[in-house]
Amino acid sequence: MSHPNIVTLFDRGEVDDQLWITMEYVDGTDAGALVSDGPLECDLALDLVGGAGAALDYAWRKQGITHRDVKPTNILVGVDEGRVESVKLADFGIAKAVGEATSLTSTGMTVGTMQYVSPEAIEGRDLDNRADVYSLGCTAFHLLTGRPPFDGGSLTALLSAHLTQAPPSVGSVAPHLPAGLDAVFAMALAKDPVNRFGSCGEFVSALRGVVAGPPFAHTVAAVPVVAEPKRFTRVLAITAAVLAVLLVAGIGAGVYLLRDDDKAAPVAVSTSTATVVPTVTITSTPTETTVTPVETYTPEETVDLTTAAPEPYEGMPCNYSEFGQENASGTLYCSAMDGAWRDKTHQSRPAVEQGSACSEPGARARVAGTDGLATCSADSSGGYSWQF
């Protein structure tokens, strides 16, 4: 992907079973470091959120990709002589294409990430760009008010808040901000993706409209509906997420961007042109859900969420308790890198050229210069060659 608000990746590879990437160096800081000293000025916060939102909309529009880890520390800020020079979104490490379910065991899903994760990601549902709208909404709330919208005393409480609680009033956290922002965040952080903004650009435009102009309207017609089956699903989702995050938090960190922490934080930024957004009325149907409290995980507790273990296949998700295990035939192993079953037969063979001849039908090997795998298969000549 090539976009002025996305950090450019140059190359990738593997050395001694360690994956590496090289990427653009951003001389400056990140939004997480900036907000650590308190809320940002509205213009600066909106510039950062606007840049990240443009990157997310581009990734979705051009490639059908969702980032899935939007948070302040992944918004890099290039600084030149005390002024913001660039805003770039980094770390697409757990990004996936449309239609793929998320997994809280994925590399990068840390406790910090959970402050910005969408309800549908917690529940392991298929995600689209509105999951990133939710995460960008949590990020914008943090930059404008100085704290994330949901910040429970425990991981269980935090995940439960994402699933069941409305975001706090902006005025209760940052009284200096316009009251009209409450309606914008109510829509961006709606529990049901259907009730959110359709793109990050729409969300950012609504934010700018409130800061610079008339209030944004968001009305709700309350029609209570009891939905008992949701209780069990969400309790399991919260419990499973707690187990996954506690393990992943202990896994060694990957390769990240080098950042110049000695640089001074920006002290001035050009004022963005404000766009007044027309009044929008949203009607939603809230669901009354009974939530059963879940005890915080301790090492003595065990949770059995499965009844039978299906025979694994390549790409099938696996959980933390299976990391490093092999299947019965010894051809697959559970990878902690991406939380899925991966072929291991290629590990005993050197890399091959795609289309070159082979003599072991069904064998696997890594394609030279890539991270893809080829299979020894019959070709049109009547022989066998390495093919994707």
Question: Do both 51 and 187 map to the same domain?
Answer: yes
Question: Do both 230 and 369 map to the same domain?
Answer: no
Token pair belonging to 201: 């650009």
In a domain, 13, yes or no: yes
User: What are the Cα distances from residue 200, in Å, to 49, 66, 128, 131, 177?
Assistant: 9, 12, 12, 10, 21
Tokens 């896994």 locate to 251
Residue 338 confidence (pLDDT): 61
For 94, the domain range is: 9-248
User: What are the Cα distances from residue 298, in Å, to 102, 153, 295, 301?
Assistant: 25, 15, 9, 6
In a domain, 223, yes or no: yes
Mean pLDDT over residues 318-343, rounded? 72
Residue 94 confidence (pLDDT): 63
Question: Do both 221 and 324 map to the same domain?
Answer: no
**Pick from 107, 76, 111, 104: which is nearest to 90 by CA?**
76
Task: Note the pLDDT tens digit of each residue in 340-354.
Answer: 777 777 766 788 888
pLDDT band at 300 (very low <50, low <70, confident <90, very high): very low
In a domain, 258, yes or no: no
In a domain, 54, yes or no: yes
Mean pLDDT over residues 356-366, rounded? 82
Token pair belonging to 335: 């990878």
Question: Do both 331 and 241 map to the same domain?
Answer: no
Question: Do both 184 and 42 map to the same domain?
Answer: yes
pLDDT beyond 70 at 358: yes
In a domain, 299, yes or no: no
Which residue out of 30, 47, 57, 69 is catalytically annotated? 69
Domain boundary among 203, 231, 248: 248
* Better-scored residue on pLDDT, 234 or 295: 234
Task: Note the pLDDT tens digit of each residue in 235-270.
Answer: 555 555 555 555 444 444 443 433 444 444 443 333
In a domain, 297, yes or no: no
pLDDT beyond 90 at 303: no
The tally of domains found in the chain comes to: 2
In a domain, 311, yes or no: no
Phi, psi of 238 (to 5 degrees): -65, -45
pLDDT band at 360 (very low <50, low <70, confident <90, very high): confident
- ∠ CA 20-21-23, nearest 5°, is 155
Taking a C-beta distance cutoff of 8 angstroms, is the pair 365, 347 a contact? no
Mean pLDDT over residues 151-166, rounded? 87
Question: Do both 56 and 170 map to the same domain?
Answer: yes
Domain boundary among 204, 228, 248: 248
Q: For the whole model, what pTM was predicted?
A: 0.57
* Beta bridge partner(s), residue 385: 357, 377
Task: Provide, rounded to the nearest whole percent, the portion of the chain with pLDDT above 70.
Answer: 66
In a domain, 88, yes or no: yes
Task: Note the pLDDT tens digit of each residue in 59-81.
Answer: 999 888 888 889 999 999 999 88
Interaxial angle between packed helices 200-212 and 42-63, expressed in degrees from 0 to 180 and rounded to the nearest 10? 160
Task: Note the pLDDT tens digit of each residue in 202-219.
Answer: 999 999 999 875 544 443
Strands (E), the chain: 9-15, 18-23, 28-30, 65-66, 75-80, 83-89, 96-97, 332-335, 340-343, 364-366, 373-378, 384-387
Question: Do both 35 and 160 map to the same domain?
Answer: yes
pLDDT band at 230 (very low <50, low <70, confident <90, very high): very low
Mean pLDDT over residues 280-295, rounded? 44
Residue 93 confidence (pLDDT): 62
Task: Note the pLDDT tens digit of each residue in 17-51.
Answer: 999 989 999 999 999 999 999 999 999 999 999 99
**Pick from 145, 127, 96, 101: which is nearest to 196 by CA?**
127
Residue 156 confidence (pLDDT): 86
Domain boundary among 248, 268, 290: 248
Question: Do both 102 and 210 map to the same domain?
Answer: yes
Active site residue 27: no
Question: Do both 375 and 229 map to the same domain?
Answer: no
Residue 351 confidence (pLDDT): 83
Question: Do both 81 and 179 map to the same domain?
Answer: yes
Task: Note the pLDDT tens digit of each residue in 82-140.
Answer: 788 999 999 876 655 555 545 454 444 454 478 999 999 888 888 889 999 999 999 99
Q: The domain spanning residue 16 has which CATH number?
A: 1.10.510.10
pLDDT band at 368 (very low <50, low <70, confident <90, very high): confident
Residue 361 confidence (pLDDT): 78
Residue 180 confidence (pLDDT): 92
